[in-house]
Amino acid sequence: MSTIALPKAAHGARPLPREFYLEPTLTVARRLLGQIVVRTLPTGERLSGIIVETEGYLVGDPACHSYRGKTPRNASMFGPPGHAYVYLSYGMHQMLNLVCQDEGVAEAVLVRALEPLEGVETMRSLRGGITNSIQLTNGPGKLAAAIALTRQEDDGVDVTDPKSRLQIIPGQIVPDSEIVDSKRIGITQGADLPWRYYLRGNAYVSRK
DNA sequence: AAATCGATTTGCT
DNA sequence: GCAAATCGATTTC
């Protein structure tokens, strides 16, 4: 079931530095596996989870939102690295992306699934009280709902800032042997590109 | 200006 | 297994 150990020193850890997001975007997508999303609610409560599934979206990639240029929706993708790009999908689901590359190079990693760490009961209520813990965060729209992300509140947030309400902090280093490469999900353009990565055998991955 | 589609999830058949 | 829900961007008339 749960495949990774709970990082012990997660509390008080500094967020991953901005340089982390300057490696090639597909490298960042792989390295984000095992890192930790930390969400601080207005109440001060802390929700967190280990990233177990990601997808890369690159310049020149027809499936990437930046492919047809800058719009109000995708503007944060064109901004500096280490910020969140949160957008509304299908009119109802918020998607969490992390912007990579220098300002002007609009690439990002979509965070597709988390393994919950802290605040599980709060996540459960944010997800309509569902009882199945696996289904709390095993999909991009699900995880965004579970940690109360919205485009209005969280698009553009700096995830490298220790006082930010959304941060990515160091978790585990995951060896390549534990990472499965596969095709991205739910897209029509560039559907054959193997730019989806997930932790082998992890129960919280959206689809094996 | 109107219709269609999408990096999805949920509920009902 | 299929369709609805719903908003922003793209495509079409």
Q: What DSSP assignment string belongs to A61-92?
A: -TTSGGGG---TTTGGGGS-SSBEEEEEETTT
Nucleotide C6's nearest residue (CA vs C1') is: A91
pLDDT-derived band of residue A162, with 50, 70 and 90 as boundaries? very high
CA distances (Å), origin A202, targets A49, A62, A198:
13, 29, 8
Return chain A residues 68..87 having CB < 7 Å to nucleic acid strand B: 77, 85
Residue A50 CA and nucleotide B12 C1' are separated, in Å, by 33
Asked if A117 and A108 touch (Cβ cutoff 8 Å), the reply is: no
Residue A192 CA and nucleotide B4 C1' are separated, in Å, by 23
Ordered by start, the domain boundaries in chain A are 18-199
Return chain A residues 160..199 having CB < 7 Å to nucleic acid strand B: 184-189
A18-67 pLDDT per residue, tens: 999 999 999 999 999 999 999 999 999 999 999 999 999 999 999 999 99
Strand C nucleotides, any atom under 7 Å from protein beta carbons: they are: 5-11
Asked if A50 and A56 touch (Cβ cutoff 8 Å), the reply is: no
Q: Please state whether strand B lies within 7 Å of residue A55 at its CB atom.
A: yes
A55-86 pLDDT per residue, tens: 999 999 999 999 999 999 999 999 999 999 99
State mean pLDDT over A150-176: 97
pLDDT of residue A158: 98
Q: Please state whether strand C lies within 7 Å of residue A92 at its CB atom.
A: yes
Nucleotide nearest to A69 (CA to C1'): C9
Residue A80 CA and nucleotide B6 C1' are separated, in Å, by 26
- DSSP secondary structure code for residue A158 in this structure: B
pLDDT-derived band of residue A1, with 50, 70 and 90 as boundaries? very low
Q: Please state whether strand C lies within 7 Å of residue A68 at its CB atom.
A: yes
Exposed, middle or buried by CB within 10 Å (0-12, 13-18, 19+), for A95? buried
User: What CATH number was assigned to the domain covering residues A18-199?
Assistant: 3.10.300.10
CA distances (Å), origin A65, targets A42, A101, A112, A122:
30, 15, 16, 31
Measured between alpha carbons, how far is A63 from A50 in angstroms, rounded to an integer? 26
Strand B nucleotides, any atom under 7 Å from protein beta carbons: they are: 5-11
The percentage of chain A sitting over the pLDDT mark of 70, rounded to a whole number, equals 95
pLDDT-derived band of residue A11, with 50, 70 and 90 as boundaries? confident
pLDDT-derived band of residue A10, with 50, 70 and 90 as boundaries? low
Q: Please state whether strand C lies within 7 Å of residue A90 at its CB atom.
A: yes
